[in-house]
Structure 1
């Protein structure tokens, strides 16, 4: 049982149960530890079923009974067939708990029950401990501080809380910045003047958030680059450096085009000159504005008209204000006359502004009409130019025909001779073209087939490269897992005592196997001896019955004639009866001895169930429940 308990305890620790090193047997488990172990196993087996259960015993007895019933029902839902109830967890005994834990450990998933499949190393063990602690804290329901019990103060204390505020960090050796590609000055700055990571944020509480943000950004950038390179970069058949440079140039070109489009002057903006000059400087920094700033500052006819109008209006307004000032009398006027005069001037200026706006709208409408008419005229001009070109060609043809009319016969003969010569030349050229076309067609077909073969070969190699990338990635992951497993095994090996060698464990295992074989041989021998003895007993019993029957028959025949033989017959019957009673007594004695052994085993089992301690515990719980009930009744009476 010691080996079984060690295996169970090891499996429960792997499932996340916090078991002390002093606990070496299931007999040493307390009710709190049993509840925690069962809940942790249920969470691993069925998270939906185990997450709703608390792994800590509540202080109230009624809540403990409810938790015990819930655990019993959950174990039955998982598939446990034995007898189970709240008493299994609150008033436990060793055999029931051992059978329950054996069932739960067998139900655990292979990757949880087997420690060799888990990631290893001290960091992995620390991460698992942190995850288990976080899960344990998340499983505890939240309570206000005024309602929380002393048992919840550890997990629900009002400690310092900080918001997630990340700040940019400068890391010399990261994914984004490579130390090999940096100049010596930058490396010297990193080595001598760059602050540590913990001192870069303005507040110390922002260090974890900044580190997490930086790590997530680098990880996402690496994953995006790998996915983009596997999907698009391999198809481009370029090296990673060439692909990055081409992508950078394409992005720079798009930005330049967007800036050029945004730098075009609009009719509804008055400050176009300043914005276009700024954009021109920006474009010059990109290297695309080679023609100077005149391209961006070039205006349209509408902008020139607008500038002329708005530059002339201030001069007119100044002249009008001077005339009004000269028209004012030199004598002092009252404030009412001054306000009336200002209102009159304001109304005059508003009328002038309305007239100017009306004139601008009319001019805008005229400009639109003129633009439409100019477009129509330009379209008509293009059509007329095309028709004039066609007419000029026809006139040239007709003029040449008219020039040939005076000597028509000779010209016809010359024309026929030219036609025949041209036809012969065409036939000759066609024959020569056929001679050249056939090998060219063959060469074209050969090259086309070769190109298709190369494309298929390149696509096949590309698919092989993708497969190799996947295999490399899988191999790298397996190597990482094996490396972590090696580290964990090495750490476990270092923690083990060096006094005990492997041969000791081997000898111990061989001894256990030999003892099991000896026990099997002894059991087989005892069974065979029992069978032989039973056969001998059955044979002797049959022989005794047959001998008594024959003797009874012979003596009974002689007893009719002789009186002494008759007494012998009576003694024979009494002897047979006494022997039968003796045999029955021996059989009853064996049965009683077997019952005694069974009762002794039951007594040992009951002693292992800790009945007395459980009864004392039940009495204490009963007193606690009575106290709770009396307290509740007192609260009800007070209310």
Structure 2
């Protein structure tokens, strides 16, 4: 049982139970320690069930009974089949507590084999350390600030809290390029590497990372944001290279340069398309409002400027017209202002005249707007008519070219009509000569065509073979990349697992010898093997002995039956044989009684051993000490009841 108790104590310590170093067996467990161990196990097994239970016994006896009953009910809810009640925790005995703790330890959640094979990286180790620190701090009792010791002041002081606010940083990375040293800076609003010519700026003017944010509390958030951005960019580049870069069959530098040039061309095309003015035919029928919106979209004024340098004659006329009208209006306003007397008119007359001038100016503005709309409508109509005329002109030009061709052919035919016979003969000769030349050229082409076709087929076959080979090599390269990535991931996992094991090994106590544990385990295994062999041997001996007893019993019964029959036949004839038959029957009866006595003796011996074991079990239950505890608790309960009765009487 010592080994079982050690395993139980080790498991309970892992659940967070405070088991002292001097406690080496379940026999040394106190009621408080039993309650704490059971509650901690319940919290690990089922947090919802164990969160409502207290891991310490209260001072009052009635409260203790309630805690014991709630713990017993919780264990029964988990599926414990043994006898359990409040007495199991308050007046415990070693066998019951051992069986209960074994049940709870077996119910503890175990990590699966896959989870054990997965290495825990730095984040997991960091989480474990954080959890250990939080657990240690939660174990400390909370005290008001005036009663705290210096240690509690450090651990229980909430400290200042800051919001997560990141700012762009300029972080420099050294690049090892053959023949040149470079420093690459990756600020969020800059691009490209910083060459070592700027080393003076880097050393003298560029502040460190901790001094770049405007607030010192933003440094961790900025570093986290920068690292997350770089990590996501690296992952995106790796995915793009594995999916598209390998298919391009280009080195990474050339692929990046081509991608950058394509991106620049697309940006230039978009900017050129956005900045390009509409064609003259479409721009001519645009109204003044459309021109104003176009100019405002490019940041220009509504009356033209340097943005649109070119335009049609109508555009220039419109611009001149609409620039002259405001000039005339301003001249009229200046003349009206000059015609006003300065000091001989009252304020009411001035206001009335200003109202009249404002009304006249608004009327002029409305007239100008109407004229502008009329001009815009005329411009649209003219543009439509120009388009129609240009389409008709193109169609007429095409029909004119066709008619000229037909006229030229007819003219040549008419010129050949006077000497038709000679012309026909000449034409027939030309046709025959052309036919012979075509046949000759066809024969020459057949001579050249055959080797060219063979060469084409050979090159096509060679090209298909090269494509097949290149696709095969590309697939091999992809497989190699996948294997390399898998190997890198496995190496990272193994490295993380190695670091975790090193950390756990360093945290283990140094005074423990692994060889002692190994020798102890081998000794336990050897003892178990010997016990199994002895049990097997005893079982086989028992079976053989039972078989021998059964054979002898059967042989005895058969021998007695035969002897009885033979002697009984002779006993009818001879008196002495009759006495022998009586002695034989008495001997058989005495032997049967003797065998029955031996069997009863064995049964009694087994019962004696069972009773001795029960006595030992009852002695292990600490009945006397439990009775003393029960008496003390009974006295405490009577005192509590008397105190409560006195309070009731006083009330």
Measure the CA separation in 2 of the matches of 1:614 and 1:218. 68
* CA distance in 2: counterparts of 1:403 and 1:245, whole angstroms: 67
Q: Tell me what 1:361 maps to.
A: 373
Give the Cα–Cα distance (whole angstroms) in 2 for the partners of residues 413 and 246 of structure 1.
Answer: 66
Contact 2:122/2:496 (<8 A) preserved:
no
* Structure-to-structure mapping, 1:94-493, within 5 angstroms: 94-104=97-107, 108-112=111-115, 114=116, 117-120=117-120, 124-130=124-130, 160-173=160-173, 177=184, 182-185=194-197, 195-264=207-276, 267-269=291-293, 275=299, 297-301=309-313, 303-325=315-337, 327-328=339-340, 332-493=344-505
**Quick one: distance in 2 between partners of 1:409 and 1:625?**
151
- Distance in 2, matches of 1:371 and 1:235, equals 51
1-side partners of 2:17 and 2:513: how far apart?
A: 29
Partner of 2:149: none
Mapped to 2, the partners of 1:156 and 1:84 lie a distance apart of: 44
Residue by residue, what CA displacement relative to the aligned partner does 1:82-117 show, whole Å, maximum 9, x if unpaired?
A: 4487869966843233432453358542245x4xx2
Match for 2:35 among 31, 35, 47? 31
CA–CA distance in 1 between the matches of 2:447 and 2:157? 98
Say yes or no: does 1:603 pair with 2:618: yes
Which shifted more, 229-238 or 579-588? 579-588
Structure ranking higher on relative contact order (CA contacts 8 Å, 6+ apart): 1
CA displacement, residues 114-144 of structure 1 (integer Å, 9 cap, x when unaligned):
4xx2425776433234368889999xxxxxx
Tell me the CA shift for residue 357 of structure 1: 0.6
Alignment partner of 2:172: what SS?
A: coil
Q: 1:580 to 1:416 in 2, by over 3 A?
A: closer
Deviation at residue 416 of structure 1 after TM alignment: 1.4
Q: What SS is found at the alignment partner of 1:208?
A: helix
Shift of 1:537: 7.3
Distance in 2 (alpha carbons) for counterparts of 1:159 and 1:446: 81
Please report how far the alpha carbon of residue 533 of structure 1 lies from its aligned counterpart in structure 2 after TM superposition: 6.5
Equivalent residues in 2 for 1:580-599 (5 A)? Answer: 583=598, 586-587=601-602, 589-599=604-614
C-alpha separation between the residues in 2 aligned to 1:231 and 1:623? 83
Q: Contact conserved, 1:26 with 1:94, CA < 8 A, in 2? A: yes
Distance 1:623 1:302 in 2: 116
Shift of 1:342: 1.6
Alpha-carbon distance between aligned partners in 2 of 1:162 and 1:305, rounded to the nearest angstrom = 65
Residue 514 (structure 1) aligned with residue 550 (structure 2): no
Cα contact 1:276–1:297 (8 A) shared by 2: no
Q: How many residues align?
A: 582
Rate the CA distance shift 1:160–1:70 in 2: closer, same or farther, 3 A. farther
SS at match of 1:126: helix
Moved more, 87-96 or 159-168: 87-96
- Change over 3 Å in CA distance of 1:402–1:589 after alignment to 2: closer
| Partners of 2:529 and 2:343 in 1: CA distance | 138
CA distance 1:474–1:9, change in 2 (3 Å)? farther
> CA offsets, 1:14-35, max 9 Å, x none?
7x75777847666756433433
Query: CA contact under 8 A between 2:68 and 2:86: conserved in structure 1?
Result: no
Residue 283 of structure 2 corresponds to none
- Rounded to whole Å, the distance in 2 between the matches of 1:622 and 1:250 is 90
Across the aligned residues of Structure 1 and Structure 2, the Cα RMSD in angstroms comes to 5.4
Q: Distance in 1 between matches of 2:318 and 2:326?
A: 13
- Structure 2 match to 1:287: none
1:532–1:572 CA distance, 2 compared to 1 (3 A): same
By how many angstroms is 1:476 displaced?
A: 0.9
Measure the CA separation in 2 of the matches of 1:616 and 1:195: 78
Give the direction of change, closer, same or farther, for the CA distance of 1:530–1:195 in structure 2 (3 Å limit).
farther
Q: C-alpha displacement at 1:404, in angstroms? A: 2.4
CA distance in 1 between counterparts of 2:323 and 2:631 reads: 107
Q: Using the TM superposition, give the Cα deviation of residue 498 of structure 1 relative to its aligned residue in structure 2, in angstroms.
A: 6.4
Structure 1 residues 6, 256: CA separation in 2 closer, same or farther (over 3 Å shift)? farther
Measure how far apart 1:412 and its partner are: 2.0
- Residues 517-526 or 448-457, more deviating: 517-526
Of 393-402 and 259-268, the range deviating more from structure 2? 259-268
Tell me, what secondary structure is at the counterpart of 1:268? helix
Show structure 2 runs of 5+ residues with no match.
139-143, 145-153, 176-182, 187-191, 278-289
Q: TM-score, normalised by structure 1?
A: 0.73
